[in-house]
Chain A
Amino acid sequence: MTIRVAMPAHLRTIAKVSGDVEIDVAAPVTIPAILDALEARFPALQGTIRDHVTRIRRPFIRFFVCAEDWSHHPPEAELPAAILNGDETFLIVGAIAGGKKNNWCLAPI
């Protein structure tokens, strides 16, 4: 299914796109599945959202789904219907401040 993704301006520049992007993601649609599809279409984004090797989210990146911070949701969590049917956009956000290291998401995504 087609998922709409919004990225911070710097990542749009890296991907050479000017606005939100629509990407095809196979079910089940999880955050890692979206990122896999996003990185496959825009290889230059590899390493900018999550670590190349550990797949851990970079500390100052957050994910928002339907106005809720999903950054700490388990990687296998499936996204809600509003994302799947295109009513809502999956948001990749550059955090304004970081927070303590032990609050970072340490699960591979």
Chain B
Amino acid sequence: MDLLEFAKELGIITTIAVVVLLFVLVVVLYLVLKLRWVIARIQSRLGPNRTGPWGVAQTIADALKLFQKEDIIPRGADRLLFTLAPAIVFIPAYLVYVVIPFGDGMTPRSLNIGAIYFSAISSIGVIGIIVAGWASNNKWSLLGAFRGASQLIAYEVPIILALAAPILITGTLDLNRIVQAQAGGFWHWNIFQGMPMLPLAFLIMLVAGLAEINVAPFDIMEAESELVAGFNTEYSGMKFALFFLAEFAASFTLSAIIVTLFLGGYQPPLHILGGQVTAKLFGVIPLFSLISLFWFLFKCWVVVLGIMWIRSTLPRVRMDQLMNLSWKALIPAGLANLLLTGAYVAFWMAK
């Protein structure tokens, strides 16, 4: 590869990065608004309805307000690490979007180790949270960071164990090929395959994922009633915005990975609703990818709504309950599930 080609490659990579970043921003804008609507609805409140029609401009107003805030670095804080921490949290949350198959042929960068890339990159974020809590020089922050570290470490293990089940059954680490293996109607989706191992893996993934993205009932690292705001107590302005962005970006990532691994990714629920048929009817080829993109986003939307429903109805767990759930319930269940799946693949599917 000569230098010109290399520069061209760099250009392509930059373009992809910018597109993905814009997508993340739009998703977060929408999710923040949706969350406020959904929680207001569930709690019988009105929710945002003043800024723009039905309050659609609420997040934009929030963002503008956030940008105007003074950027405060507390005295006694480690200035360098305090500034770096939001970036360490945000960059991994943004990088995982690179391997998500958004639609047929619409993966920003398809890797043949996509599933492992996902869990590897998302494991970096915890360092940022610890650093943020420590660098703030504030006891609430430090307590939040401590809780966060033990929580994120504990729940990474069941996620990886749950991840292994669909990988074993489809026999590939490539997220694209996992989606392709689920083609042909909703009964081919992984969640309806390999009874009962894959549905169990789905449940483990969902519960551990909720803890990993740090939402109620597992939001003890920023439990408002105990820790003010946890690890980001001292943050304001743009730095706080980055944490906020990373949190909502991660909740979309969780639903995207669940949809990809268990709910058929961009595959339509029935073949007739897919792009191939519509493309034949109307003779428009690009429509094919767009329809698969629609199905992917629609499924993610449903999963996100489910997550919002859970977080607005369940009370927060205690620290010890949180640890017990992971180490004594999810991890043993995940290990047993992995063993069963292995046996299933070796003795049943081999036939």
A and B bind: no
